[in-house]
Structure 1
């Protein structure tokens, strides 16, 4: 009871605040997404994502040198191919852009952990996440192509695969395909609770992945649903997911907390492109303190229960943490 209990005593100065701080943002928490484009001499800034670029393989070391020097442990690769078709066949080609990128990174940065996004939207002529039938994605036909995609990633040297298409049964399909091909050691980070969100707009510009018609609400989750996320995650864990993900993160912190309270597995939060771009835009206009809002946003994800944060801010955060040491 006041005046005996004075909680401000533990807020008196920065040293005591550090001692009692409950959550910490570490460089070990971070995964940095990188866009690899087929072609040469490409360093193309994404207009809606200041500071984020599309890179060709002959220039991507400029980015990877910085990532490695900052101690960021992992990258998540997205490919922009020169050829697109109805089924996204570049995704399983041995000479596909991601397969070549994996081999390149493994050769030059053997200690960098490579995670590959497993989907089709960047590679299909229609921009949807699989094989179309009657103007909708056919779940089971898409799974057949997913098998080929993940095995080709593993063969190229990927350390982890991350299916993002929200196809039913995708984790089971991938686990069986990897195991049968001799890649039992490769973990799966499932985009288990991926919502049909408006926060993905800048990413679709970055990856040339906007759907040519319609939207993705028949396979991505309804933003109004909470309990459904628990079902999705439970199924993915049962099918063999090693890490589960919530995407987007900021507007779905309640989902992260629900998962943390329910499941004893690592949880990843994807701090998506729209979340990044809003902070960048408001910071540029002087409406917010960009650095402080960035850090507050990311620590909110840790506080909600995330173990891993996939974020375009990874390099900026790593620099701040490095300077604080």
Structure 2
């Protein structure tokens, strides 16, 4: 094992493994009669971990875990033109033009945007969530055309959810993700038209949400009912976790159902973790091996211990090895920020 490989492996074992050890124990406690559904990019390593531990008989789940390749961009794209969804899709912060909003938040290409909306409207400037009602008024006359454009995406997404086993009359899902507002869970709750459960690292609002006639229940493992800029380090610097807990394919931006029933997935830009996934995979190996060893030895961590470990890596410029630093970038087009590097953002 060379020095770089060793640094990557040990980082996964020392930074991620304790966090995932505690989180996994909570998954087991909350998964009775529920299907564990690992969401979005972060769900990749969660699915890898749960599958390994179940195969080794270190945990018992009532149903095998599912990895669901979804994203806010994909879900928002599928709901274009749905007046009932604007309050969710236009809620998060964004500043720019209508054209930029459509391209970055809804995954629409330049030429598609100009085919959908008048060029004068595309040039309008906005700031969300402050201009939410104004933007809804701008888009209202074009909802039918937007919905027609989004229809193939919606059909592909619904077929995917059915094939994955999360829709229909089966057991409720336990949706797993870092957090925080449960936007993906809420959107999925509406699409599958059944109650869902979410178990997050951090939940901004653990009271859950009513989505139509259904409930999206939410729990936070490390902290609940806390907002951004409240000073909680694991939330304020959670971008570090989002960068390092990602999938080799990056963000899914569209799904299309073919006539033979097969699904085609389309992805956004690749950041450094995708371009150097062989390195990230070593981090994952260290993390999963660390959790496995912890379960075999009966090692558990308190929330206070997890917070101390996270703080040690998230606040010290020298704690994250140089061999790992290139992995801390993420595609944040959704918020209009492009590719972000977490270590640069936090001065690490």
- TM bucket, shorter chain: under 0.3
- Kindly indicate whether structure 1 or structure 2 has the higher relative contact order, using CA contacts under 8 Å at least 6 residues apart: 2
TM-score normalised per structure 2: 0.26
More helix by share: 2
TM-score by length of 1: 0.27
